[in-house]
Structure 1
Amino acid sequence: MALKGKNITIILCIITVFLYSLLKYGYNGRDLYTYRDYSESLDNYIDRYPDYESSAITAHKQGWPSFYKDWSTYWHVKEDQLQQDIERMDSFITKDLYTKGLPYTTTAKGRETVFAGVFKSLWEWDEPYLGNIAEAFLWFKEKNNLTDRQMALLVINYVQNIPYEIPERPFGLASPIEVLTRNYGDCDSKSLLAFVILSRLGYECVIYTSFFYKHAMLGINLPSTGYYKTWKMTNYYFVEMTTPGWDIGEISKQTQDLDLWDIINLQATY
């Protein structure tokens, strides 16, 4: 009996050490590379946009928890890019949307057309300037031997941890550049940011919108469990982006009627 008790104690000690190692060093048994160096990140940005001196570039440091570790990186942007982004969006909404009466449509297809137009324009405008943040996640993936799913979760956790606040903008929607620069956004603004980053990294994504729930979420094509909708034989799992802690396929009980959700597939040709 004493020998059996001693064996149990040894086994419990081994399990304790393993769990401590998992929490401290990560799932691969060693320290994770969780900090993206400022100078390396800036050099990468200048390589992409050589016409701009470093003095004309603003750095924004972002940190977030994921895989039981704290991660951080820098996002760089031209100082005048945010204002250009806001002016372009205001002009687009005023000239192209309100003049056509699209915000007043009541049909599902009409709403899809409205938001698809807005989301797609913001995606096309901002995507070239998000290359340095996407490159940071590729750097994290390479340094830490992350799987495609783990890198997707790292991006999702990153955006989920951006504070939730409704922008004082038309449709309550902020562009990806505005969300990153101001460090806040609401459901559709953060879903769009995650969509742009993940799309640049090669993932198949959609945006879910619900007029009934007055809410938006990300959809991603990754093997998962939980809630999803199918678009042309591809399953896109819901991802709640408003706050941290939501896993892929997990949504609140108050929003689980999937018939009330529209799929906006910006990666498709409308």
Structure 2
Amino acid sequence: MRNYALIGLIICLCFSGCISPYDNLGAGEYNGYNIDANNNNEYNYAKDNNIANTINDANDSYKTSNSNKYYIRHYEWKYKGNLWTWDLKIPKELYNYYKNKPHNREENYAQYALSDYDKPYLDSIIQKFKEVSAEKGYSDYDTVMFVVSFVQSLKYTSDSTTTGYDEYPRYPIETLVDDGGDCEDTAILTASLLKEMGYDVVLIELPNHMAVGIKGGDGIYGSYYEYNGNRYYYLETTDTGWNIGEIPDEYKNTNAIIRPMIQIPKMELSFSANYISYDASYIYYKVHCDIENIGSGTAKNPKLYICALALSKGDGYVWKPDHVIELDDYVEGARGSAEAVVKIPRGETSQIKCVLYGDNFETVEVSSEVFNT
């Protein structure tokens, strides 16, 4: 059985001059692009005027079974002296899917940015950002900052005020519909968009704060964190005006946990065991297991082990037969079940145990109370 542990590394903040691109991350890490600079500190801002640049709705082609049921959200923000407006249609069924998911089961907030279910919608938004950036002739740096400036313009709201919970990490769709959130919400949204655009990003978890790190290339200056031999430049997402590499004074020289953008499915397992028959020597029980992937991404090669422990024989003994059931991959949100029959000799003390394990998720074990046959 293999465990796939959450990845987090405590590191220290550094300050940089100009750096060169680094090699790709090692096996198992997300491999994205560096962000390169193009006169990023020499903006020539145009004067504001009363004419806004409008981004047309990105989501007319988004497929949904409730095609007439959308949230309409209006956004306004400035970038490089230009005013931008965007009216987004966000399917209510998509928002409700995430609203109804548990929001207290992930210590690693990167998982909120890595869901598969919202990718078609977010990809349609990303396509619009790319189209506008191409039309404007934006550099790599400006393309990233165009997206970041959009997120920075969203309202800052505390979880306790908007949800009644001390901590309520939002999925990207929730932040868009709610028109904002706190630091982890805007960091999650930013990381999700930039990762899908192909940039190598991480979440930076600081004491009582969260931000984004983006892997730097030639010409990037400012504050960065080193992780796996690469420099990830600090990106503040909770207020306007922050550029890549600029960090608030209160977070300088502060240790952080780096959360890489790697999907880690999270499996839930429950079971029931019911007496079905007996003979002169054995009691027979049918064990029914319910399985659900409540994490991000697809759970690969899951296997279910079902057994009845032979407690009187000592640790590690089971009553035969025990069962290993090979299951199909569980995509995000998938539910399923599996069953097996165990037999236990009469007059014995036993315990039924079920173990779910696979290639890329943490092993889950559940057991019954000890009972006599």
TM-score by length of 1: 0.71
Residues 1-270 of structure 1 aligned to structure 2 (within 5 Å): 23-24=46-47, 34-38=53-57, 41=58, 45-49=59-63, 51-53=65-67, 55-90=68-103, 93=104, 97=105, 114-116=106-108, 118-124=109-115, 125-167=117-159, 168=163, 169=165, 171-210=167-206, 213-223=207-217, 224-258=220-254, 260-267=255-262
Distance 1:72 1:199 in 2: 23
Distance 2:178 2:258 in 1: 28
Question: Could you say which structure has the greater relative contact order, defined with CA pairs below 8 angstroms and 6 or more residues apart?
Answer: 2
Distance 1:236 1:209 in 2: 13
Name the residue aligned to 1:28: none
* Gap change, CA 1:209 and 1:227, over 3 Å in 2: same
* Gap change, CA 1:229 and 1:158, over 3 Å in 2: same
* Structure 1 gaps, min length 5: 1-20, 26-31, 98-113
RMSD over equivalenced CA pairs, Å: 2.6
Distance 1:173 1:50 in 2: 25
Asked whether the equivalents of residues 113 and 172 of structure 2 are also in contact (C-alpha less than 8 Å), the reply is yes
- Aligned to 2:198, the other structure's residue is in SS state coil
Query: How many equivalent pairs are there?
Result: 214
Given residue 253 of structure 1, which amino acid in structure 2 is its aligned partner? D
Given residue 264 of structure 1, which amino acid in structure 2 is its aligned partner? R
Asked whether the equivalents of residues 33 and 140 of structure 1 are also in contact (C-alpha less than 8 Å), the reply is no
Name the residue aligned to 2:341: none
Q: Give the share of equivalent positions with the same residue, in percent.
A: 20
Distance 2:144 2:112 in 1: 23
Asked whether the equivalents of residues 112 and 171 of structure 2 are also in contact (C-alpha less than 8 Å), the reply is no
Runs of 4 or more above 4 Å deviation: none
The C-alpha deviation readout for 1:163-193, integer Å capped at 9, x for no partner, is 1111224623222111110112111110000
The C-alpha deviation readout for 1:220-263, integer Å capped at 9, x for no partner, is 113321111122222110111111111111112211124x2111
Asked whether the equivalents of residues 166 and 172 of structure 1 are also in contact (C-alpha less than 8 Å), the reply is no
- The structure carrying a bigger helix percent of its residues is 1
Asked whether the equivalents of residues 149 and 222 of structure 1 are also in contact (C-alpha less than 8 Å), the reply is no
